[in-house]
Amino acid sequence: MSPFDVVRENVTARQVAEYYGLKVNRNGMACCPFHDDRSPSMKIDNRYYCFGCLAKGDAVDYVARLFGLGPKDAAEKICADFGLAYDRDRHGSPPRAKPIKPKKTDEQLFKEAERYVFMVLCDYHDMLLKWKTEYAPKSPDEEFHPYFIEALREIDHVEYLLDTLLDGDISDRAFLLSEYGKKVQDIEKRLRRIKELAAGCDR
């Protein structure tokens, strides 16, 4: 198979565009990299079409235009970057490279970090609500349990963090991830230990 055939069967225009840094929204629209595009005017999936500058084509056309390459060089670049093998010599068996996963974009990595922090904070919030009820003092003279004190101290703050992840702007969410990333990892480890201890006591 030629590099064109391999690319056509394995890679879409959207996949190569995202691999080389284009941010595509959930509707499959993106700001066109081929002209000064301030709002998404390019529709991209298997192929791409820009309603602004009228650029269009498939994955090979996209890479050729993006890097100023000829079609053959563009197809070979895609094969190299995506770990796709093709026939280099018609008279011999072509080498077969092991496919590799495309690199994740910064946006994908950011979304994964957001999802992880949100899930851990949700688990912690549920645990705090449980502690607030289960460890509440039964009488005015009873000493406050550390879990009850932690629940009173942390619930409002955790709810604020969750609201920021759900409704905050990108700068607020990015700041939250940078400031609380390590703390959230510690919270996850602690919650895991607490759950493991609870499971052991139930046996």
Q: Give the pTM.
A: 0.49
153: buried, middle or exposed (CB in 10 Å: 19+, 13-18, 0-12)?
exposed
Tally the domains of the chain. 2
**In the chain, pLDDT over 70 holds for what percent of residues?**
90
**What letter does residue 88 receive in the DSSP assignment?**
S
pLDDT tens for 136-170 read 998 888 899 999 999 999 999 999 999 998 888 98
132 plus 189 within the same structural domain: yes
Average pLDDT over all residues of the chain: 86
Task: Report yes or no on 139 lying in a domain.
Answer: yes
Question: What average pLDDT does range 160-186 have in this prediction?
Answer: 90
57: buried, middle or exposed (CB in 10 Å: 19+, 13-18, 0-12)?
middle
Task: Tell me the C-alpha distance between 126 and 154, whole Å.
Answer: 12
CATH number at residue 9: 3.90.580.10
pLDDT tens for 74-126 read 999 999 999 888 776 543 444 444 455 567 788 888 888 889 999 999 999 99
Range of the domain at 60: 3-82
**In the chain, pLDDT over 90 holds for what percent of residues?**
55
Question: Which among 67, 82, 97 is the end of a domain?
Answer: 82
